[in-house]
Chain A
Amino acid sequence: MTFPHRHLLGIEALRPAEITTLLDLADQYAALNRQPDKHADALAGLTQINMFFENSTRTQASFEIAGKRLGADVMNMAMQASSLKKGETLIDTALTLNAMHPDLLVVRHPHSGAVDLLAQKVNCAVLNAGDGRHEHPTQALLDALTIRRAKGRLHRLSIAICGDIAHSRVARSNIMLLGKMENRIRLIGPPTLMPAGISEFGVEVYDNMAEGLQDVDVVMMLRLQKERMDGGFIPSEREYYHRFGLDAEKLSHAAPDAIVMHPGPMNRGVEIDGTLADDINRSVIQDQVEMGVAVRMAAMDLLARNLRMTGEGAA
């Protein structure tokens, strides 16, 4: 079982076997997390710093719990409030933290590539918790684990990703991961929310939900990121919901046992019908949150093993 990476910056650098390795380990942690005693010691003695340059409740909490369950000393830094306001650059901040000898640095940043930049300047393991519109690897991995557990496999599935693809790092990481695992990917959304060059991604593109959802096994909804809109991508929320919001009628075009996913937080009544989101027979949204902790435990465990092997980091 090998995972020859120093950082987890994106799905792009991972090979299919490495993804499987990580998901297998995450499965074990998912079992552990259902025990009354949830403690393991894979990260004992290590220091984990969560640096979030962009607001996050769920992802940060998930990384924090994952670290604590594995015995790491976890510190959260809300970066908007601190140094950036004082004019300190990202690299200075990184170097300052680096001097405190963290072993794992979990970073979210509003600009694409910022986490890669930071990873070049520190000598600990860096986990990308989302950079701009680029990647959000642990989200794609937790989605993959959820699909694998619900469907029994992670290949030869027909998977629809719906909504704001253009601004979504979740979509990019998922397209890469699910493509590497040899699934059929469909993207559904208004053309204004599709990235340029999408025809070269090896995916099928639809602007109609009924057609796009035809017989798919997995329906992955994306949050309509209102704060990312420069304005004018869609005419109105209600027209968007009418044409692209997932409800029972639109879902009826999918396979009868299709599962419904959403990375959260949901805009009920904008991209997804509230009742459908709560339907335990179709929605695996709560499972995604649960798998999030397990996947992050597995990712940090694998990176920590490499750290200990190379003797770098806090040593």
Chain B
Amino acid sequence: MSRLAFLNARLVDPESDEVSVGAVLVENGTIGDVMTGQIPAPSEGRVIDCGLRYLAPGLVDLGVKVCEPGERHKESYRSAGLAAAAGGVTTMITRPDTTPAIDSPETLEFVTRRANEAAPVNVLPMAALTKERAGREMTEIGFLMDAGAVAFTDCDRVVTDTKVFSRALTYARSLGALVIAHPQDPGLSAGAAATSGKFASLRGLPAVSPMAERMALDRDLSLVEMTGAKYHADQITCARALPALERAKANGLDVTAGTSIHHLTLNALDVADYRTFFKIKPPLRDEQDRLAIADAVNSGLIDVISSMHTPQDEESKRLPFEEAASGAVALETLLPAAMRLWHSGLVSLPALWRAMSLNPARRLGLDTGRLAKGAPADLVVFDPDAPFLMDRATLRSKSRNTPFDGARMQGRVLSTWVGGTCVYEKP
């Protein structure tokens, strides 16, 4: 029996909503016990003295884009896996918006095989909801679930045909499958590169009102009410969408919502002089929206924080803003960026870990994301105060399109453990 003990750590427990000093004992890759207080070192096995640093469940990142198949030069399972490990992410839930899309059991099997060979962390794939993400015919949801798909999504493409979408929701419900949608009215948001307002108008950028998000969420929630499906909104980014979400939850619909770390830590003005690394989908919102979303994370109305890790090569970003590709890498910056929310007093540490670990795991029916006996020993040891200057050249991702390049950040991962095995240790 292999034993491992983390002693003298500040334990971040998302289930009990507490941070307390204690120890975690690991047996055969599983958490054997969690104890508070000063615990003497056990007689056998490896002992890690955390020196009052923080120990928390590893992050479960819902919505990571790995560019296999199709664009391996942007990100492979190997590079994404290393980035995840260095970022404290122990489970990547990958997106199917590859080229071609992951919309058949055969493609899914290829991806799963690649992931298991190459990535040091857990990888669980999502599959497309409709074939080629075209919004016309649903995929083989049953076969795909058998092959290991944990959720179904067309990613940033909206299924515009409500009949197609309602049938897909109905079919998914019969299998208990989770459907993840991107609430964004496609008509209103067509061609938009920014959020409408004074800044976008001054910069002359085509822009979309945040109302496009609420409209699409309203539509989706109506269809969820009609079909009884299990639904997750990938990114809620504006205050105006929150009342609808709150109502849906109060009415007992099986609904959860996520947001991205970038929408929680940056706002529309960060685009400044057309900095394309800040071009993401949906576009960055104004400061009031950012604060409202952070508040909703803290209260639990928004369930999940994702990196929405989207690798783009230099060529796709070195273009005029309107033409540049959307998306940012974030596996390695998720935790330090989240620490900004804690340091500024917007979101508590247990609330952050509910959103980055416990809730996404629960939503997908995974056992991880907890500091509890019997849970897999997917853990991260970190120092939330350690300051550093972000240098994108140090990123492990093949693509280095991070908006935090050159930013002062606080919070470093010291070590990452997957099933009791160390997959990253800070040099």
| Residues of A that sit less than 8 Å from B by CB | 12, 89-91, 109, 111-114, 116-117, 131-135, 169, 172, 195-198, 200-201, 230
Contact = CB atoms under 8 A, between A and B. Distances in A.
Contacts of B273: 113, 116
25 contacts: A12-B202, A89-B315, A89-B318, A111-B323, A112-B203, A112-B204, A112-B321, A112-B322, A113-B203, A113-B274, A113-B322, A117-B274, A117-B318, A131-B204, A133-B204, A133-B205, A172-B201, A172-B204, A195-B201, A196-B197, A196-B200, A197-B200, A200-B198, A201-B201, A230-B191
A250 B39 CA distance: 86
Contact of B204 (A89, A134, A198, A201): A134
Given A111-B320, A169-B204, A116 B197 contact: no
Nearest to B315: A89
- The winner among B200, B201, B205, B319 for most chain A CB atoms within 10 A is B201
A172 B200 CA distance: 12
B98 interface: no
B203 A134 contact: yes
Complex A-B, nearest 7 residue pairs according to Cβ-Cβ distance, in ascending order: A133-B204, A113-B274, A134-B204, A197-B198, A195-B201, A112-B204, A196-B196
A239 to B, nearest CB: 24
B207 A132 contact: no
A111 B318 contact: no
Given A89-B319, A114-B320, A116-B273, A172 B196 contact: no
B199 interface: yes
A237 B199 CA distance: 30
Which of A117, A201, A230 has the most chain B CB atoms closer than 10 A to its own CB?
A: A117
Contacts of A109: 320
Contacts of B196: 196-197
Contacts of A169: 204
B274 A197 contact: no
Interface string B342-372: 0000000000000000000000000000000
B209 interface: yes
Contacts of A117: 274, 318-320
Contact of A111 (B197, B198, B315, B321): B321
Nearest to A121: B318
A119 B267 CA distance: 25
A53 B357 CA distance: 49
B407 to A, nearest CB: 20
Contacts of A134: 203-204
Contacts, number: 68
Nearest to A134: B204
Given A112-B322, A133-B204, 5 more contacts: A135-B204, A196-B209, A197-B196, A197-B199, A201-B198
A109 B206 CA distance: 15
A89 B191 CA distance: 20
Interface string B144-163: 00000000000000000000
Nearest to B191: A230
Contacts of A89: 315, 318-319
B50 to A, nearest CB: 45
A53 to B, nearest CB: 10
A18 to B, nearest CB: 19
Nearest to A133: B204
B202 A172 contact: yes
A229 B33 CA distance: 65
Contacts of B191: 230
Nearest to A165: B201
Nearest to A113: B274
A144 to B, nearest CB: 19
B203 A197 contact: no
B207 to A, nearest CB: 6
B292 to A, nearest CB: 19
B197 A197 contact: yes
A74 B319 CA distance: 27
B320 A112 contact: yes
Contact of B322 (A116, A132, A172): A132
Contact of A116 (B202, B205, B274, B323): B274
Interface in B301-321: 315, 318-321
A88 to B, nearest CB: 12
A112 B205 contact: yes
Contacts of A91: 318
A133 B207 CA distance: 12
A164 to B, nearest CB: 13
Interface string B177-216: 0000000000000010000111111111111010000000
Contacts of A198: 201
Contacts of B323: 111
B274 A112 contact: yes
Contacts of A116: 273-274
B320 A196 contact: no
Of the candidates A113, A201, A230, the one having the most CB atoms from chain B within 10 angstroms of its own CB is A113
A195 B202 CA distance: 9
A200 B196 CA distance: 13
Interface centre among A12, A90, A132 (most CB of B within 10 A): A132
B209 A90 contact: no
A114 B315 CA distance: 15
Contacts of A12: 202
- Which residue among A111, A131, A172 has the maximum number of chain B CB atoms within 10 Å of its CB? A111
A112 B201 CA distance: 11
Contacts of B207: 196
Contacts of B209: 196
B201 A113 contact: no
Nearest to B209: A196
Contacts of A111: 320-323
A197 B320 contact: no
